Structure 1
Amino acid sequence: MTISFADRVAIVTGAGGGLGRAYALELARRGAKVVVNDLGGSRDGTGSSLSAAQAVVDEIVAAGGEAMANGASVTDAAAVEKMVAFVKERWGRIDILVNNAGILRDKTFVKMTIEDFRQVTDVHLMGSVICTKAVWEIMREQAYGRILMTTSSTGLYGNFGQANYGAAKLALVGLMKTLALEGAKYNVKVNTIAPLAATRMTEDLMPPELLAKMGPETVAPAAVYLVSDEAPTNAIINAGGGGFERAYVTLTRGIHVAAEDMSAETIAARFDEISDRTGEIVPDTGAAQGAVALGGQR
């Protein structure tokens, strides 16, 4: 099987460099028309320039592909809607959205300002919400869509000094899970990638010898699969350095107690039993978790 994107139109945010650039180049190589969106700001989100996005477009065109540059900030709903309307008018459809744009403002929580927290969540979380909302009805109407969110090991498992980033990144998993349900009957599939790659976002977070093995090209195969015709939905894939794993939000079998035993002391006494991962499950929906809590499948 060869994965092709012929006749598909893709928007990739934060595509002026790093992971976004790798995704855009690979999608174009496989036949997609690509919108290379990038604000062109610094790592902390300040400044703007279209030069990075245009450079990627030039690479795609030089290789025989079709692409356009766009400098809208993903936090600017009006600018994003304008971008989407222009793409729809020019190419007739929008099949793929890769929510990749992001910034970092790392500090320990005690030193982090509310503005640092809000700005990071605005770009990662609300930026993905704004872009997804702008294409959602188009994808529903054409009965086809592939949307990729970007989480992180920080969001899934935590990392010192990244409370803002981690909060935003795990929120995107929750967004994916609900949209995967809402998009199912319209053939709109929503997945999440957790990349580990050498980019300007990680250049001072990992040692050089490790970064050398973790170029964006080691993540791109998973991202490309997750927005293909053959994609699953509601999947979280960790990717980087040649490793590919699937992450799940799991639920232990837990315990069910009678009303007369419901106390903090019962929880304390049986906490190890509640935490026992033997036979843990992965609920399909929040309602399925609720059924377990009410004494269902154990």
Structure 2
Amino acid sequence: MSGICARRVVAVTGAGRGLGRAHAHAFAAAGARVVVNDLGVGLDGTPAAGGPARQVADEIRAAGGEAVAHAGDIATTAGAASLVATALEAYGRIDTLVNNAGFLRDRMLVNLGEDDWDAVLRVHLKGHFLPMKHAAAHWRAEAKEGRAPAARIVNTSSGAGLLGSLGQANYSAAKAGIVALTLVAAAELARYGVQVNAVAPAARTRMTQHTFAASMAAPESGFDAMAPQNVSPLVVWLGSAASEGVSGRVFEAEGGRITVMEGWRAGPTADRAARRTPQEAGETARALLERAARPGPVYGA
């Protein structure tokens, strides 16, 4: 099969619906062999009937592509290890990992339960860490055997992780953590031929269907700016060998817009070889803030 990802093996987590499903189909259309992972839970992470991973794998095969389903919990060591093992058993290799699985349990901070906090950080942050760990261990072993891979990891953050979002303290914290995890992984894994980037998408999925209505399609062109399929081309490129040299970056993707995000970097600074009093520290901080760029507003504020 021809395409930008021809002969590559790509594992996509949370690929049974929404963005993950769109990514899986897009990779298959680009020639990749796809491992479709989805645990098949409800919007809040509770067990749900049906097997969305198998359904998407069947759709890809029906369209002439190659795919296998994986229904393991990637936020467990066993589930993450079996995701990599499934790719190796089915196709003999793994080239790209797309971490996308997640769900929501939105509450205002004072109403946010400990279980809601733990569950969201588990699926988003731990669910990124463990598949990365096991895929990276495989690629490190390959590199040490002289088979340096052109491996790719694409993580999924969010505007909520970059700016914050009212009612989503748990989700925002997890998505911000994914950005930091991406930067560390990019630095640590470069020696093994692994590139790691993150995408902060805005699209209409079951998690955002009330935020992004279908009516947002442009009436003149019929272009549905919030369709999840608009995000997938960037993800496919980042997951391909064509993205050589791009690592440790965060992109926002929405409709036809792609933005390179520029994160924390040193702004105005004042230094002196003496300890300040609290009053002096406050005066210095206020003077620096006058020269600093203002942060973007928190979503929903």
TM interval, short-chain normalised = 0.7 to 0.9
Deviation at 1:7, TM superposition (A): 1.5
Among 252, 257, 280, the alignment partner of 1:243 is: 257
Spell out, residue by residue over 1:69-120, the C-alpha distance to the aligned partner (whole angstroms, 9 max, x if none). Answer: 1111122211221232232123111111000000100010111100000000
Q: How is 1:1-298 mapped onto 2 (pairs within 5 angstroms)?
A: 4-49=4-49, 51-142=51-142, 143-144=148-149, 145-210=151-216, 212-231=224-243, 232-275=246-289, 276-277=291-292
Please give the alpha-carbon distance, in whole angstroms, between the structure 2 residues aligned to 1:267 and 1:3.
58
Q: Secondary structure at the match of 1:237?
A: strand
TM-score by length of 1: 0.88
* Aligned CA distance change for structure 1 residues 217 and 86 (closer, same or farther; 3 Å): closer
Counterpart of 1:203 in 2: which secondary structure? coil
How far off its partner does 1:141 sit?
Answer: 2.9
TM-score between both structures, scaled by the size of structure 2: 0.87
Deviations 1:152-203 (A, max 9, x none): 0001001110000000000001101111001112110000000000000101
Number of equivalent positions: 277
The percentage of counterpart residues that share the same residue type is 39
Residues 254 and 273 of structure 1 are in contact (CA less than 8 Å); yes or no, is this contact kept in structure 2? no
2:298 corresponds to: none
Question: C-alpha separation between the residues in 1 aligned to 2:201 and 2:268?
Answer: 32
Q: SS state of the match for residue 148, structure 1?
A: strand
Structure 1 residue 209 displacement after superposition: 2.4
Residue 128 of structure 1: how far off its partner (Å):
0.7
C-alpha change, 1:6 and 1:207, in structure 2 (3 Å) is closer
Higher RCO structure (Cα 8 Å, ≥6 apart): 2
- 1:120-172: CA deviation from partner (whole Å, max 9, x where unpaired): 00000001111111111112233221001110000100111000000000000
CA deviation vs aligned residue, 1:18-58 (integer Å, no higher than 9, x gap): 10011101111111110000011101011145521112111
Q: What 5-or-longer segments of structure 1 have no aligned partner?
A: 279-298
Structure 1 vs Structure 2 CA RMSD: 1.8
